[in-house]
Structures are given as structure tokens and as C-alpha cells.
Amino acid sequence: MSEQPPPPIEAVFAPSEVPIDTTAASATPSAAPTAPTADPTPEPTPAVTPSFKVYKPSSSSAAPPPPLPDDYFTPTAADLKQAQNTLSARTQALNDAPLQLRAVREASEKAKRDRWPNTTIRIKFTDRTQLEKVFPSNSKIRAVYAFVRGSLREDIQPIKFVLYQPPKRDLKVSDPAVRDLTLSDLNLAPSSVLLLRFEDTARAEEVRALNGSGVSAPLAPEVLAEAIDLPAPPVIAASSSSNSASNSDSKSGGTTMSTLEKKIPKWLKMGIKK
């Protein structure tokens, strides 16, 4: 028998001796350097509309409104009837308030909040400068204080002040009956005017000067820069109001007299004739 030649022996390499093909790495092109991109042209910043309004003191040279006739202040029969109905409804509501269920009271309060979701607060200074801002009706009075304090000059901000409604309703943050209530609960919705009075025993002289009638509002310069003229009040047509009042008076007077004549009994009429 002829012997077959042995199979060829394959070369065995250690892991560190395995030949590395460097052609693929050398064939990969190197990444080209990226050119620096030019900065885009900055867009102009849009003007920010302030969230508050500042009204200048009304000039004394403005013409006063025309005087109203005396008939304007005379209530008509319809006015008296409407006032009586309103007073009766309010009295009835107060009498029924303890009998209302909690759900009914909460529903009425929610309806009130939904009717006036925002409250406009206008702060009036001693020189008749007015600072106005709109707050959510569920905000607390401390939000109004923070806004006013931030609008004052830096040297005036540390001085204590009180917001109040004339004649004697102080809305102090330190009062538990005030600080925990919303603007709606304080009956400030939908809009109210509050006066400002500085109170600080440690700076009595400065406080006395700030509360003077001839002192300008101590607002920050950037706040005063937004001041505009106070809109003129609407003019009331005195002639038309007096005519309507006189016409209504004559009609109500005629109706009243005719009604009284019908209600007078016959025996009284006989006595009057005698």
C-alpha cells in the first residue's frame, strides 16, 4: 500500500502575533476640517408692554364738568321702587343666609369668582398720581403690597405703608382677617381704588413728609417714565337727564293722583265737598 502524504500544517499565531491589515485604515480619508459658522445676526428684541399703568395727576386747569340741575338729584318713583326692591332682596338674602346649605354657598361664591376672574386695583397717592394693575381675583392682598413696594424708589422701599379704603378700612397684611382672604373675598372685585399711607415710627419725620399733600409720588424713575394722562370722565347730558326726570315725575305724579282719587271712599268725598 502506498502511503498518503500528511496534510499541510496551518500556521498558528498567538493573539499578539496576528497580522493586522493596515490598508483599510490607511484607505479611510481623514475628515475635512469644518469651517467656523458665522454667528447669526441678532434679531431686535421686541418692546415689552408694561403690565401696569401709571396716570399723571389731573391738571387743575381742566374745565370742571357742567353743574347738574336739581332735578337730576330728585329720585323718581321708578328709582324709589327699584331701591326698595334691592333693599328687600338684600334683607331677604341676609335672613336666609344661615339656612343655606354649604353647597349652595360654595356655588354662589364660585359664580361670583367666575363672573369677575380679574380685579383691577388702582393705588392713589397724595399728589393724585395713580398706579394701576390687574390681579387675579383669587390673589391675596400681599400680592398688591409686593407690587406697590417694587414700584417705589429704592430709598423708600424699606418704609412701611398701609393700603386702605376711606374712611377707616385698613387692609393690613398683619391683620389675620385680611391676609388670608382673596381680593374677591375682600369685596375688591371687579375694581377698587386704594389709598396709600406711610406708617413707620422709626422714621417719623420722613413719613410725615411723604404723607404731605404736596409731595410727589415716590415711584421709581422707570415707573414714572410710563406715566400717561388720566382719561377724561364721560360728559353727562344734563338737559336730557333733566327732561327724562321731569317726564317720569309727571307721569308718576299723574298716575299717583289718579290712583288716589280712585281709592278715596265716597263718604270722604261727600265730606270734602261739604
pLDDT single digits (tens) 23-47: 544 444 455 555 555 555 556 555 5
Phi, psi (rounded to 5 degrees) for 76: -90, 175
- State the maximum Cα–Cα separation within the chain, in Å, rounded to a whole number: 177
DSSP 230: P
**pTM score of the predicted model:** 0.57
Residue in 125, 121, 120 with CA at minimum distance from that of residue 224: 125
Query: How high is the pLDDT of residue 27?
Result: 47
**pLDDT < 50 regions, the chain:** 12-16, 18, 24-29, 238-242, 245, 249-257, 260
CA dihedral 50, 126, 170, 188 (to 10 degrees): -40
pLDDT at residue 43 in the model: 60
Residue 217 has which C-alpha cell? 409720588
CA 139 to CA 127: how far, in whole Å?
A: 28
**What whole-number distance in Å separates Cα of residue 242 and Cα of residue 271?**
39
Q: Which CATH number fits domain 51-56+114-229: 3.10.20.90, 3.30.565.10, 3.30.300.130, 3.90.1150.10?
A: 3.10.20.90
Q: Distance between CA atoms of 138 and 185, rounded to whole angstroms?
A: 8
Residue 89: the pLDDT is 87
